[in-house]
Amino acid sequence: MLDLPMVDDPARLGNVTKKAADMQIVYAKTSQSLEFGAKVIIKKMLWDENNQALEPKVIAEATVLTPGRFPTLALTEDKDSSTWGVMPGDGVYATAEEPDSGAADDSVTAHE
Protein backbone atom coordinates (compact mmCIF):
# COMPACT_ATOMS: atom_id res chain seq x y z
CA MET A 1 0.00 0.00 0.00
CA LEU A 2 1.25 3.48 -0.92
CA ASP A 3 1.14 5.95 1.99
CA LEU A 4 1.36 9.58 0.87
CA PRO A 5 1.61 12.33 3.50
CA MET A 6 -0.94 15.11 3.10
CA VAL A 7 -0.93 18.74 4.26
CA ASP A 8 -4.31 19.80 5.69
CA ASP A 9 -5.54 23.31 4.87
CA PRO A 10 -7.95 24.68 7.53
CA ALA A 11 -9.13 27.44 5.14
CA ARG A 12 -11.08 24.89 3.05
CA LEU A 13 -14.77 25.84 2.82
CA GLY A 14 -15.98 22.67 1.12
CA ASN A 15 -15.80 20.48 -1.98
CA VAL A 16 -16.83 20.50 -5.61
CA THR A 17 -19.67 17.95 -5.82
CA LYS A 18 -20.60 17.96 -9.51
CA LYS A 19 -19.44 19.44 -12.81
CA ALA A 20 -21.83 20.56 -15.58
CA ALA A 21 -21.39 19.29 -19.12
CA ASP A 22 -20.14 22.66 -20.41
CA MET A 23 -17.20 22.46 -17.96
CA GLN A 24 -17.61 26.12 -16.85
CA ILE A 25 -20.23 25.46 -14.15
CA VAL A 26 -19.54 23.43 -11.02
CA TYR A 27 -21.63 22.69 -7.94
CA ALA A 28 -20.27 22.63 -4.41
CA LYS A 29 -21.14 21.82 -0.82
CA THR A 30 -19.65 24.22 1.73
CA SER A 31 -19.50 24.49 5.52
CA GLN A 32 -20.80 28.07 5.44
CA SER A 33 -23.13 30.02 3.18
CA LEU A 34 -21.53 31.82 0.27
CA GLU A 35 -22.91 35.13 -1.01
CA PHE A 36 -23.91 35.85 -4.63
CA GLY A 37 -20.96 37.24 -6.57
CA ALA A 38 -18.34 36.12 -4.05
CA LYS A 39 -15.02 34.98 -5.50
CA VAL A 40 -13.64 31.59 -4.49
CA ILE A 41 -10.67 29.52 -5.56
CA ILE A 42 -10.59 25.82 -6.40
CA LYS A 43 -7.62 23.79 -5.20
CA LYS A 44 -6.56 20.23 -6.01
CA MET A 45 -4.30 18.04 -3.90
CA LEU A 46 -1.09 17.74 -5.93
CA TRP A 47 2.35 16.40 -5.09
CA ASP A 48 4.89 19.00 -3.91
CA GLU A 49 8.46 17.86 -4.55
CA ASN A 50 9.99 20.34 -2.08
CA ASN A 51 7.85 19.22 0.87
CA GLN A 52 7.46 15.60 -0.28
CA ALA A 53 3.73 15.73 0.47
CA LEU A 54 0.35 16.24 -1.16
CA GLU A 55 -0.57 19.93 -0.89
CA PRO A 56 -3.54 21.96 -2.11
CA LYS A 57 -2.60 23.90 -5.28
CA VAL A 58 -4.81 26.55 -6.94
CA ILE A 59 -6.17 25.27 -10.26
CA ALA A 60 -9.09 27.67 -10.91
CA GLU A 61 -11.02 30.71 -9.74
CA ALA A 62 -14.82 30.93 -9.66
CA THR A 63 -17.72 33.29 -8.93
CA VAL A 64 -20.76 32.26 -6.87
CA LEU A 65 -23.92 32.29 -9.04
CA THR A 66 -26.40 30.86 -6.53
CA PRO A 67 -25.82 31.65 -2.85
CA GLY A 68 -26.06 29.30 0.12
CA ARG A 69 -24.34 26.17 1.40
CA PHE A 70 -24.86 24.37 -1.94
CA PRO A 71 -23.69 27.07 -4.37
CA THR A 72 -23.40 26.98 -8.13
CA LEU A 73 -20.01 28.31 -9.22
CA ALA A 74 -18.99 29.74 -12.60
CA LEU A 75 -15.33 29.15 -13.39
CA THR A 76 -13.75 32.48 -14.29
CA GLU A 77 -10.14 31.43 -14.74
CA ASP A 78 -8.42 28.09 -15.13
CA LYS A 79 -4.88 28.27 -13.78
CA ASP A 80 -3.73 25.13 -15.60
CA SER A 81 -6.68 23.69 -17.50
CA SER A 82 -4.46 21.77 -19.90
CA THR A 83 -3.26 19.44 -17.15
CA TRP A 84 -5.64 19.52 -14.19
CA GLY A 85 -9.35 20.09 -14.77
CA VAL A 86 -11.74 20.85 -11.93
CA MET A 87 -13.33 17.60 -10.74
CA PRO A 88 -15.66 16.48 -7.93
CA GLY A 89 -13.70 16.30 -4.69
CA ASP A 90 -11.54 19.35 -5.37
CA GLY A 91 -11.50 21.90 -2.55
CA VAL A 92 -13.36 25.22 -2.47
CA TYR A 93 -11.56 28.03 -0.62
CA ALA A 94 -12.22 31.71 0.07
CA THR A 95 -9.98 34.07 -1.85
CA ALA A 96 -7.32 35.94 0.10
CA GLU A 97 -8.54 39.30 1.35
CA GLU A 98 -6.93 42.15 -0.54
CA PRO A 99 -5.82 45.19 1.45
CA ASP A 100 -7.91 48.33 1.03
CA SER A 101 -6.41 50.33 -1.82
CA GLY A 102 -8.59 53.41 -1.29
CA ALA A 103 -5.77 55.29 0.46
CA ALA A 104 -3.92 55.70 -2.83
CA ASP A 105 -6.74 57.89 -4.16
CA ASP A 106 -6.37 60.33 -1.23
CA SER A 107 -2.72 61.00 -2.04
CA VAL A 108 -3.51 62.64 -5.39
CA THR A 109 -3.19 66.42 -5.13
CA ALA A 110 -3.75 69.17 -7.65
CA HIS A 111 -0.75 71.24 -8.66
CA GLU A 112 -1.46 74.86 -9.51
Distance CA 53, CA 5 (A): 5
| Residue 10: per-residue pLDDT | 76
Contact 37, 67 (CB under 8 A): no
Evaluate whether residue 112 is within a structural domain.
no
Q: Is residue 58 part of a domain?
A: yes
pLDDT at residue 66 in the model: 96
- The answer to the question of residue 7 being in a domain is no
Residue 101 belongs to a domain: no
pTM above threshold 0.95: no
Between the two ends of the chain, the Cα-to-Cα distance in Å is 75
Q: Give the SS3 label for residue 63.
A: strand
Per-residue pLDDT tens listing for the chain (112 residues):
656 555 567 788 999 999 988 778 999 999 999 999 999 999 998 888 998 888 888 999 999 999 999 999 999 866 655 445 889 999 999 987 544 444 444 444 444 4
Does any domain span residue 108?
no
Tally of domains within the chain? 1
The answer to the question of residue 105 being in a domain is no
Q: Environment class of residue 94 by beta-carbon count within 10 Å: exposed (0-12), middle (13-18) or buried (19+)?
A: middle
Tell me the CATH number at 91: 2.40.10.410
Q: Are 20 and 87 in contact (CB under 8 A)?
A: no
Bridge partners (DSSP) of residue 5 are none
Residue 74 in domain:
yes
